[in-house]
Chains A and B, each alone.
Chain A
Amino acid sequence: GQNIDQPTEMTATEGAIVQINCTYQTSGFNGLFWYQQHAGEAPTFLSYNVLDGLEEKGRFSSFLSRSKGYSYLLLKELQMKDSASYLCAVLDSNYQLIWGAGTKLIIKP
């Protein structure tokens, strides 16, 4: 079966750095997405990786290792507004997105 694993919840301090991991086992791979979802709102796109390596976009970076079935999202200089759930999703061989359950990130002052 297809499976995407990420931690259920993480806590970090304002101004710090946090890394959210995602491991996947899917039928084929056509890219990995990270989305942010604030409570009661829709998911919004953060990043996309299809090749191995690090993609940087401002305070957020995403890393992919296809051989290990592994990705992480790195958030720097955490702000209170970063409190949200972070969803990892893999585009499988049928070009359908398979979603992880999400990691709830709690930022403390």
Chain B
Amino acid sequence: IAGITQAPTSQILAAGRRMTLRCTQDMRHNAMYWYRQDLGLGLRLIHYSNTAGTTGKGEVPDGYSVSRANTDDFPLTLASAVPSQTSVYFCASSDGGTSSYNEQFFGPGTRLTVL
């Protein structure tokens, strides 16, 4: 089934632990994105990648890192989780990073709680 998958669906994590959220797409999209969504706030961009091998920082990159070794995968790593990183994380992809028509397709999300 074409689309974006994320894993895990949800996770409870102790503060200070390292965690990697996985994201895989099979639409051969060039661009991929990681957002966090918190109650009362809009989606906020953490990191993005316009093409395999390149990454960039979004609005709220601190405490997070990403890699883009190939077209399909875009993992997000929290090196040392803190409670303020409790959020719902969405991965998204689009056909072109610098295209005006840049419809983004979203994965189902990962609900992360840091205690």
Q: Are B106 and A48 in contact (CB under 8 A)?
A: no
The answer to whether A43 and B43 touch (CB under 8 A), given A96-B48, A96-B58, is yes
Report chain A residues within 8 Å CB of B104. 45, 97
Interface of A with B (CB < 8 Å)?
4, 8, 30-31, 33, 41-45, 48, 50, 87, 89, 91, 95-102
A8 to B35, CA, bound (A): 20
B31 closest partner in A (C-beta): A95
27 contacts between A and B (CB under 8 A): A8-B40, A30-B100, A41-B108, A42-B106, A42-B107, A42-B108, A43-B43, A44-B106, A45-B105, A48-B101, A48-B103, A87-B42, A89-B43, A91-B100, A91-B102, A95-B98, A95-B100, A95-B102, A96-B48, A97-B43, A97-B45, A97-B102, A97-B104, A99-B42, A99-B43, A101-B42, A102-B42
Most chain B beta carbons < 10 A, residue from A41, A44, A98, A99: A99
Q: Does B1 contact A (CB under 8 A)?
A: no
Interface of B is mostly: loop
B99 within 8 A of partner (CB): yes
Q: Does B41 contact A (CB under 8 A)?
A: yes
Q: Which residues of A contact B42 (CB under 8 A)?
A: 4, 87, 89, 98-102
Contact present for B103 and A96 (CB under 8 Å):
no
Nearest opposing residue in chain A for B35, CB measure = A99
Chain B residues in 8 Å Cβ range of A45: 103-105
- How close is A40's CB to chain B, nearest CB, in angstroms? 8
Residues of B within 8 A of A87 (CB): 42-43
